[in-house]
Amino acid sequence: MGKKVLCVCNTYFQLLTVIQLKHTLLQNDYVAVLLSDHSKNARQIVRNLKTLNCFEAAGFLETKALDYGGHGLIKKIAGIFSAQAGKLDCGIRLLDTVIFDEFMYFNNNLSTVAIGECLYRKNNRLACSQYEESILSYDIAARHGNFRELSNRMKAVYLLQMVTGKKRVADLCQKFYCYYPERYKGKCSTVKIPLLNENEAFKKTVSGVFQLDEGRLAYKQQYIFFSSVGDFEGGHPIGEVGLAKRIADLVGKENLLVKLHPRDNTGAFEKAGLHIDKNSDVPWEAIQLNYDFSNHVFLTATSTSVLTINLLLAKHPDVYFLYPLCDVAGNKAVKPSIEALERLFSEGGGLSLSGIHLSKRLGDIL
């Protein structure tokens, strides 16, 4: 067995990437995965990971309250001091019993700081690495550790670490694992991850983890709308529900399916009378690798899940990004995705964007 690696995943795409890493670059290493409660049904997915022996160890991580909660000033301050002290009350014995050589993550938040500090106390030669979140995450990763880019809480954590002389996780980060190294412009050295569609073992594992049998995969609607966080995170709602209703009026409600974002607990699309994908708690990349959507049409305001997987497939449906039809000015959550999308459409970056469109009117897609 090689090095001991701890991977923290806050989204299912991050988990897919780590599964691919275990099948390829980390196949001879001890790999432990902590999947957080940031996404729906994560506890059950951890059970599936254990049953299938996907990794040497797997655990359920409860950090949503630390990273997104604590709206009162006292709770916020307590979270800041707990993170920089490496205190994470999550019940994960791995953090106490295993000395890790490498810590891999994507999100730069309070729980990342806490886990990094905990691991560093046990091994002061700990290596830290980021891995990509999607094709649009490279700019965010390139700015990793930039003080001006941080939230106020993370700025406070970093200032406290500076005063106490503690190492920042961002300063320890040396590598960026990604599918398209040529697109990364940050300070870390890049490590290329083999593409998903080149690995049949990966597909089989993912199908088992998310229990994607044939009876579960049935998509009769030709049009599929992928929601993002724009209506429930980041400030002013961008109007995704209204956009989906406009599409339904044109194509018929019976011919439109909505794939919910994993963190969407609002029920807004259901209240609008739209059909919801029963597999909305499953990462779309896993579904599309196991089902032929070549005769469908994908629609979204800013969701990156449809972009990432379709760039990896030789044959895929038409994909339309419709954020020009939304009110995005007052929403900071979708801003990075839109900026990255606009650069992608204007520059290309060596990627083939055949069948992937930016549309300013619904008439283009019908």
Residues pairing with 256 in the sheet: 223
The confidence score (pLDDT) of residue 148 equals 81
**Is pLDDT of 309 > 80?**
yes
The confidence score (pLDDT) of residue 218 equals 86
CA 266 and chain centroid, separation = 19
Q: What is the pLDDT of residues 65-113, one digit of tens each?
A: 888 776 665 566 666 556 555 566 554 667 778 899 999 999 998 889 8
Whole-angstrom distance, CA of residue 110 vs CA of residue 37: 14
Confidence band, pLDDT 50/70/90 cuts, at residue 179: very high
- By mean pLDDT, which of 153-157, 201-205, 210-214, 354-358 is the weakest? 153-157
Mean pLDDT value of segment 221-232: 94
Confidence band, pLDDT 50/70/90 cuts, at residue 352: low
Whole-angstrom distance, CA of residue 145 vs CA of residue 113: 11
Beta carbons within 8 Å of 242's beta carbon, 6+ residues apart? none
Q: What is the pLDDT of residues 114-132, one digit of tens each?
A: 898 889 888 999 999 999 9
Look at residues 335, 341, 337 and name the one whose alpha carbon lies nearest to residue 353: 341
Asked if residues 102 and 129 have their Cβ atoms less than 8 Å apart, the reply is yes
Confidence band, pLDDT 50/70/90 cuts, at residue 221: very high
What is the third-level CATH fold of 4-209?
Rossmann fold (3.40.50)
Mean pLDDT value of segment 274-284: 89
The confidence score (pLDDT) of residue 77 equals 61
Q: In whole numbers, what is the pLDDT of the chain averaged over residues? A: 87
Buried b (16+ CB within 10 A) or exposed e, 294-309: eebbbbbbbbbbbbbb
What is the third-level CATH fold of 223-364?
Rossmann fold (3.40.50)
Q: What is the pLDDT of residues 19-71, one digit of tens each?
A: 999 999 999 999 999 999 988 889 999 999 999 999 999 999 988 888 877 66
pTM of the model: 0.85
Q: Which amino acid is at 345?
A: F
Give CA separation, 128 vs 4, 102, 111, 176, in Å. Answer: 12, 6, 14, 9
**Is pLDDT of 307 > 90?**
no
Whole-angstrom distance, CA of residue 276 vs CA of residue 50: 29
Mean pLDDT value of segment 204-224: 89
The domains spanning 4-209 and 223-364 adopt the same CATH topology = yes
Task: Report which of residues 319 and 353 the model is more confident about.
Answer: 319
Percent over 90 (pLDDT), the chain: 47
- Domain ranges, ordered by start, for the chain: 4-209, 223-364
